[in-house]
Structure 1
Amino acid sequence: MLDPKVLMTIKNLPLLAKTVIDGFMNGFNKSTVKGPGLEFSQYRSYQPGDDLRWLDWRMYARSDRYYIRESEIETSISVRFVIDASNSMNHHDGTLSKIDYARFLAASLGYLANLQGDAVGLYVLKDSGLFSLASRPDPQHLQRFYHQLANIDPAGRFTQPTHYKELFSGSGRKELLVFITDMYQPNGEIMQLLDQLAALRHEIIVFQLMAQNELDLDFKGYSALEDLETGEVIQLGAQTKQRYKEVLHAHQENIRMQLLGKHIVHRMISTAQPLDEALRAFLVQRSK
């Protein structure tokens, strides 16, 4: 049920989020701890029904096994979801758009964060404006979060918001910013924003969404492509595909290295890809 094409059949966003997380967590039931020498006085293996807040995701990242922290002081954080709602997020691969995938991802992670006792907020970047839904931990607030997610309508170009510092509260509580974007930035606008956000010294994870037809340059039946934000038209020639893949690889490596230099976690996700990898990346970061 983590396949985005299957998720398109679920029209209710709260139900979709619960379905995704339930399916993801069912994978724990298949996990077993094997072999001698695993002496963890403060850990035990995960059992169905255990409180998910005590899962140690750093231990999972190291061992690929699931452990519960037995002696832990409860700590909640503020998880702020930032959605790029510029027009390039309307790009489709078949019936699925990037903004659809962004909704699925944010709704699922928001549900999981709320389940763990974290406060959840939503910030939508569109046409230099910033829509804000401040972080709160209560279930009623989660319904508002879903409602605003469902009503995002991408348009215009990505422009850095004037009041970008609203993305963090400055309250002193630990915060994690989850930025969902395609990193489409003609003049480096997104990287400039991330520069300023990184200077505020909070944790940031960037999920960069790419459609599979973008990654493969697979637009059968088309001889030209039009930029959704600038209107520029590019002709597709016989030699375009190989050159495109070379430029794309260099472009992605440049993004990866720039974000690494800012201590920002970066995950590139194809919209054809099930949500598992994004969920795991989020949970590992959540536990730090």
Structure 2
Amino acid sequence: MTAQQGNPMADASLASRHTGPPGGRAHLSPQALARIGKLEVRARSVVEGVMDGLHRSPYFGQSVEFSQHREYVPGDEARHIDWKVWSKTDRYYVKLFEEDTNLRTTLLVDGSESMSYGSGPMTKADYAATLAAAIAYLLLKQQDSVGMTVFGEGVRAAVPHRGKKTHLNTLLGTLGATEPADKTDLGGILARTAEEQRRPGMIVLFSDLFADRDATYRGLRMLRSRGHDVLVFHVLDDAELDFDFQGTTRFVGMEDAGEVTCDPRSLKAGYLKAMQDFCEETRKRCAANLIDYQVVRTSEPFDASLSRYINARLGFRKSLRR
């Protein structure tokens, strides 16, 4: 399908090439150690800048201050069951405590070919990897458990859940070693994650969402129905959001979407309307399922994206307590 047909899913996933390839991929260079080091520095600097001055964690944790109950699910430790509540209700509930609940977070990072696009110094893959690394660093610093899946049509790399700070090296190594490729089966990955992660936790998705919409929404609903908190970082390049191309341009589909050469000015109004509708529909679908949804530009400072993430988690916790 070409851009002339006005399909927002196809149009938005087209990369533009004037004379050269899209922007560089700093953490995808062959020098693995340098690559991982740069990613770790970015992650640490982002987190430390955002967290400076914060005195309480925005997540749940292992303090002695009781917060709330959650219904028991297989895999929960029996020592957390509130037997007094059971004696009154004949149902099992576990106690949650302020600061964290030994939060179990799964990072889902889109590694499909469309994520390799970038009109600036960072590709969408670069941005998603750095943001995922920053969140992993933050969670591990709190002694929470973090696992990760990098996906395309299927699982391209998987890192099991661990809570040690040294686990960050494994996560960074996987992010650095997985170069964007293949098409996207986002709906299938979300459904698979829902089946594998039976214990409620947090699922954080980093993707441009250029995939089958209905399957994506079904997968997100499935995760919520299993009790997971879900956050979606919709990672998009400025060119995809603004469509500020000038002169005759050849658009090349990055996941077998074809190509077309045209004057982009004739497409701009229709394209921007399709992109706006796409983002708005996704936002509404997520809101209806209590899913935190954020559009992030690859030109946006990481600390701004992470700050919104933290504020969203704080707001979500408050809504659950009402």
TM-score bucket of the superposed structures, by smaller chain: 0.7 to 0.9
Once the two structures are superposed, what CA deviation does each residue of 1:147-169 show, in whole Å capped at 9, x if it has no partner? 11111211111112497136753
Once the two structures are superposed, what CA deviation does each residue of 1:173-199 show, in whole Å capped at 9, x if it has no partner? x51100000010156443332233232
Cα distance, 1:132–1:8 mapped onto 2, change above 3 Å: closer
Map of 1:140-159 to 2, 5 A cutoff? 140-159=166-185
1:236 aligns with 2:263: yes
Once the two structures are superposed, what CA deviation does each residue of 1:63-99 show, in whole Å capped at 9, x if it has no partner? xxxxxx9956453201110011111101111331100
1:100 aligns with 2:126: yes
The count of aligned residue pairs is 247
1:181 aligns with 2:207: yes
**Alignment partner, residue 64 of structure 1:** none
Aligned CA RMSD, in angstroms, stands at 2.9
**Alignment partner, residue 123 of structure 1:** 149
* Cα distance in 1, alignment partners of residues 47 and 109 from structure 2: 20
Asked if the contact 1:168–1:175 (Cα under 8 Å) also holds between the matched residues in 2, the reply is: no
Q: Offset of 1:268 from its aligned partner?
A: 0.4
**Alignment partner, residue 138 of structure 1:** 164
Tell me the SS of whatever aligns to 1:92: coil
Asked if the contact 1:176–1:204 (Cα under 8 Å) also holds between the matched residues in 2, the reply is: yes
Tell me the SS of whatever aligns to 1:263: coil
* Cα distance in 2, alignment partners of residues 158 and 138 from structure 1: 31
Q: Which amino acid aligns with 1:127?
A: E
TM-score of the aligned structures, taking structure 2 as reference length = 0.68
- Unaligned segments of structure 1, at least 5 residues: 29-45, 58-68
* Cα distance in 1, alignment partners of residues 291 and 240 from structure 2: 24
Q: Offset of 1:231 from its aligned partner?
A: 3.4
Q: Which amino acid aligns with 1:284?
A: N
Query: By percentage of residues, which structure has more helix?
Result: 2
Q: Which amino acid aligns with 2:303?
A: D
* Cα distance in 2, alignment partners of residues 15 and 116 from structure 1: 18
Q: Offset of 1:267 from its aligned partner?
A: 0.3
Map of 1:1-288 to 2, 5 A cutoff? 11=35, 12=37, 13-26=39-52, 28=53, 50=55, 54-55=56-57, 73=97, 74-75=99-100, 76-129=102-155, 131-159=157-185, 160-161=188-189, 164-165=192-193, 169-171=197-199, 174-186=200-212, 188-220=214-246, 222-234=248-260, 235-287=262-314, 288=317
Asked if the contact 1:225–1:236 (Cα under 8 Å) also holds between the matched residues in 2, the reply is: no
* Cα distance in 1, alignment partners of residues 135 and 195 from structure 2: 17
Asked if the contact 2:106–2:148 (Cα under 8 Å) also holds between the matched residues in 1, the reply is: yes
Asked if the contact 1:127–1:155 (Cα under 8 Å) also holds between the matched residues in 2, the reply is: no
TM-score of the aligned structures, taking structure 1 as reference length = 0.75
